[in-house]
Amino acid sequence: MSTNLPPGSRPRDFVLVHGAWHGGWCWELVRERIEAAGHRVHTPTLPGLGDRADELDAAIGLADHIADVTDYIAARDLRDIVLAGHSYGGMVITGVADALKSRIAHILYLDAALPENGQSMISYGTPRPPEAIAATEAGLRSRAPDGIAMAALPPPLLGIPASHPLHDDVAAQLTPHPLKTWLDTIRLVNGGPAGLPRTYVHCTAPVMAHTQFPAIARMAKADPDWDYAELATGHEAMLTAPGDVAKLLLDRLAPLRHPRAQSHRPQATAQEQA
């Protein structure tokens, strides 16, 4: 590993969680840059996706994805980590933060979902009438005719135009996503990321259509408890702007940048103490 660390600093662990239809592979360009700076990068693939597509099952739900990442961190005794999630990965890291809060130095949402207790991937964000949420669910089910997994969106709808040099590679690596994970509601008993130094990054060129990301971005931008940043690239920023994403993550290493990081370190949750 490179030793390009500033004097007096130490290697840190970054845990990067991918979004729907992806796998840990999507962080590779970001990984290279963070490792070149002397740190360790973990990019677990969620059950049923990517190189774990053979595990796909109708029973895989949101809690399984959260538990998978929680177990990954606990099994390796990772502490003082920078935890990041992209898109649907925001649902996962919210649950991980709720369970392992004292292990997280900073949490970063990259154009990602940010649910409150009892919300799902299709209900978080701006309040909508039940019929609107039902229509969204119907649309998802139409993408999962087998009732198990939703077919991947084409890369242009994810922010990678057909002319982009990575388009074909990304299209070839996307895999169906377990439907249940988008319909399950999240259970938060420790406030999710509340109390943690946290950042929301919104991708603006273009903004991904028909999502709640702009609403979450407006909230974070207006809330002094959040750091907020924008990237002039599409939704797949870890692929289309990996240098910018890596820099944002590396910039979150210094706890002194956030006043709460020293004076209000989270206490261990009940799950961590068990």
Contacts of 77 (CB under 8 A, 6+ apart): none
Q: Per-residue DSSP letters for the chain?
A: ----PPTT----EEEEE--TT--GGGGHHHHHHHHHTT-EEE-PPPTTSGGGGGG--TT--HHHHHHHHHHHHHHTT--SEEEEEETTHHHHHHHHHHHSGGGEEEEEEES---PPTT--TTTSSS---HHHHHHHHHHHHHT-TTSSEEPPPPHHHHT--TTSTTHHHHHHH---EETHHHHSPP--SS-TTTTS-EEEEEE-TTPPTTSSHHHHHHHHHH-TTEEEEEESS-S-HHHHSHHHHHHHHHHT--GGGSTHHHHTPPPPPHHHH-
Catalytic residue, chosen from 2, 9, 87, 263, is: 87
Q: Is 87 a catalytic residue?
A: yes
Residues identified as active-site: 87
